[in-house]
Chain A
Amino acid sequence: MLGKIKRSIATFSLGLFLAMAMYIVPGMTSDAIAKEVFAEQVFAEEAFAKEVLAEEAVEGEGEAEIEWGQDVFYKDWEGNPLKGPVSGFPAPELGESDYNNYEFAPSRMLLWVANQQHLYFGSFVLAVPIFCMLIEFIGIRSKEEDPVMSAKYDRLAHDLMKVSLTAYSWTAILGGILLFTFITLFPGFFKYMAGIFRPVMHVYALMFLAESGVLYVYYYGWDKMKEDKFLKWIHVSLSVLLNLIGTVLMYLANSWATFMQAPGGIDADGRFLGNIWHVIHSTLWNPVGVHRILGNIVFGGGIVGAYAAYHYLTAKTEEERAHYDWVCYVAMFIAIFGLIPLPFAGYWLMKEVYAFRQQMGITLMGGIMAWLFIIQAVMIGLLFFGANSYLHNGMSRVKGSHRYMKYCKYMILLLICCFTMWMTPHTIVMTPAELKAMGGAQHPVIGHFGVMSAKNTAVNLMITTTVLCFLLYQKANKKINVPWATVGNCWISAIFVGAACNIIFLGVYGYFLPANVRVGLSVPQVTTTLTTLFAGTAINISMFKDSESYGDIQWGTQSKVGTYAIFLLAISFTWLMGLMGYIRSAVRLFWHVTEVVRDNSVDAYTLTIGEAGKMLTFNTLFVWTQFVVVFWVGSLTGKKVVSKAPEGIPVPAQQQQ
């Protein structure tokens, strides 16, 4: 049994790796490839433009029929702004009549709530099919070796899709509300956006139709396609298709937001220059897409985990407890897997933001939004604490874990030290008296923690510690029997010690380098961290061959603290997602579309930290209330009605079972 679980966990890990690679690698590499392709395309366009202009010059009669505009973002080979035929109207100068409002709340707040709720649900319904695809695939692969586990995986995937189906309709309703909010409260702005993105919006609607069709066939065909091997493979292929359509949907919707933040494909007056692809894949499109996919996985994992944790705590039977404990584990595994690369995707996004407008980057990291980033740092720290607490508590119930439990306290100490460094602000809130006592605005000791060298070092060490914790969790109940066990353990130790030394060395070295070179050090730091993840996991799993077990994992015995850690994670994810969304959106300050469409409404102000915090908390509570309702609705079909005869009344023989 244990061997089968081991294999299924290993397959699960492999599946997740492949899924991550499928989603991330194209995103990362496509950036480089796209630039090459784009360069060729630009060259062709430029040549064409010159040709047309030359022809017009030769003709020399009257004015050119086609007006050419200069792109605000894209450049040609020589670094000059790319030219394109003007194909749209200029951005409007919005006035009072372009905004509507209700008495009871500012339009901006209403739009925020509508947008955020739709995004939360959208994120969930995009994430769940990814899990289902993986879980169903693992179920199919393990069917011959372990039919019981296979059925369990299949049931889990089916249950999740059931909840996702309700959430899907809900998402569509929230999308409708969002659309109406835009049209009714910000008609001037929406008219401009619709003018630019007209074809994209139609494709989006059609993709939604395709998504719905595939989703319904996938869900309602589950039982019919379950038994036949070939049909089951077709069924799991449908989930791949579902995910592909979902990803395209998300990327299309992302293009509106990334265009607003860092526009391209238009001239300085906001006129569309005829190439819709330029408008869609503006500079932040790829990093935002990858960051959102990872964020969705983490968020979805957190919600499923919280759902399972609730059922685990309220379970009446041992079987139920064991099942939901296992679901908690699977959800946490997925969430942590998404969480580990998430900061790197965030760095990539910020790098592109800085590259687009240094001013925007400084507003985010050092300016008016900097304190929100400190709050973000605290929330991320909580995520790591929650994840590690779950792993420690989960490990403690495994027989044989006493060999590794003694290291937990040192890992906690390292986490806390790194977290302290990670969230030490560069600008400290203090009274003038404290400032004088400190001898200046920067503390001579902890002041060094306020810069990126320290932050990168801290977060990489935190991730490495979490990876180590996970490896120990994996091998907690195993007695390693491979002849190269000592060598393997030495390699794992060497990888982690070497990684820690390298990360710290690069962090310290960064203080002695110019800032532009220092930024580049984050790449080897991240590579080091990922090496511990991939190489460490690979060696660890390889060592499990022919291993003996100290005992099976006792599902259903997870401690309450470990279970509550899942709630902490889920709530932190939700709040953090809202916070980062707010930061990304609010950095436009008084622009609807950066430097093109100015926000002339009465709401064009930046909220105080306290006000923003209240809105985020409201959004978090609101969405969780809806999730509870959605889960309840999803559970209605699953409830078995046990007909129980009233006492004392004889039951007819034909009704007795």
Chain B
Amino acid sequence: MNKSLISFFVFVVGLAVFHNVIFPIFTPKEIGWILNRYVYFLLFVAYLIITNLILRLKPPIAMTALFVWGLGFYFYKFVLYPPIPWTLFITYMVMWTIGTFLFVSQDPITFREFRKPIVKTIVGEYKIAQMVALTAMPILVGFATYNSIYPSYQEPVELRTVHPAPPATTKVHGKTYPLESTNNPFRVDEQDNYKDSFPFLDADKNEYMKYVTEGGTIFFQNCHYCHGDQLNGLGMFSHVFNPTPANFIDPGTIAMLQEAFLFWRVAKGGPGLPNESTPWSSAMPPWEEHLNTEEIWKVILFEYWYTGWHPRTFGTEGSEG
């Protein structure tokens, strides 16, 4: 039997078995260091390489390229979890396709080998392949056309700036704050000196923890319904909002921002956002109407304490005249 064909079967049958039998084993409810989908994927790749080596199949470069490309597709489509948005999937696949092309075109010999079956299909040396390709192509184009014109009821994709540039100053409760130079008045202790303390328990021992405790109280009275009791953006109301509330645990949110930025965002809420951040789609109220200035600063202090992040500072980074 043709070795290329065996190699192809090794891939297809292996994938079917792995996906239907082994994949469920590696995706339990409690994810572990071994039993997880990424280890599963590595096992599948190892199976492919080892089987091809043991059987000395040496598939032609075009088929190897197909396997490589297919592995990328399988990973991004089925293994990576939660599923990634379509735009990102397309982008990743373009990257992977370019990578596959670089692999086959790394020298003229491999590229010639890669082109050989394609050229032979086009010129008619591989008659069956030519018939299959010429039949499949219009069907695929038709299917894509059908898909694109089929009515869709999804909301359109929105390009939203999550962290817009803040204004130079903001006016809260009659006072103007320059955002670049305003600091949290309650940050009386520097980072890491309080990491072993705990709000509520140590509130009377430490002035800093007293403020954190007060901030925590305000947070649980007002904010946790949306931002979640673990500050991960998964509060009880979060699922009805679009976009979902900010996840403060994520390294890309408050960890990247100055406290003054948060002060502005909390005080002005959704309506205070610039147009690029679609103020109409944010449900956050302008908290300056419900909290006083001190309360806003304290709740910010709590958010940083809870997540363990330190606010962004620019004091020593750049040069000034």
Contacts and interface: CB of A to CB of B under 8 A. Distances in A.
Contacts of B160: 427
B187 interface: no
Contact of A450 (B244, B252, B312): B252
Nearest to A286: B319
Nearest to A74: B321
B320 A438 contact: no
A133 to B, nearest CB: 32
A405 interface: yes
A368 B161 CA distance: 6
A358 interface: yes
B238 to A, nearest CB: 8
Contact of A416 (B81, B99, B244): B99
A371 B247 contact: no
Contacts of A408: 106-107
Contacts of A440: 232-234, 244, 247, 250
B111 A559 contact: yes
A388 B318 contact: no
B321 A516 contact: no
B85 interface: yes
A447 B252 contact: yes
Interface residues of B, number: 71
Interface in A503-531: 511, 513-516, 519
B321 A73 contact: yes
A73 B318 CA distance: 13
B79 to A, nearest CB: 10
A11 to B, nearest CB: 29
Contacts of A435: 85, 242-244
A430 B106 contact: no
Contact of B251 (A448, A561, A609): A448
A430 B247 contact: no
Interface string B32-64: 000000000000000000000000000000000
Interface in A371-424: 371, 381, 385, 388-389, 392-393, 395-397, 405, 408-409, 412-413, 415-416, 419-420, 423-424
A453 B168 CA distance: 27
Contact of B161 (A370, A392, A438): A370
Interface in A71-94: 71, 73-75, 82
A396 B244 CA distance: 52
A431 B107 contact: no
A354 interface: yes
Counting chain A residues whose Cβ lies within 8 A of the other chain, the interface size class is 35 or more
Contacts of B81: 445
A409 B164 contact: no
B321 A385 contact: no
A618 interface: no
B102 A429 contact: no
A545 interface: no
B107 A441 contact: no
Interface of A: 31, 35, 38, 71, 73-75, 82, 264, 283, 351-352, 354-360, 362-363, 366-368, 370-371, 381, 385, 388-389, 392-393, 395-397, 405, 408-409, 412-413, 415-416, 419-420, 423-448, 450-451, 453, 511, 513-516, 519, 559, 561, 609
Given A430-B157, A516-B312, 5 more contacts: A75-B320, A362-B164, A367-B163, A416-B98, A416-B99
8 contacts: A381-B95, A388-B102, A397-B108, A405-B107, A432-B154, A439-B234, A443-B84, A609-B159
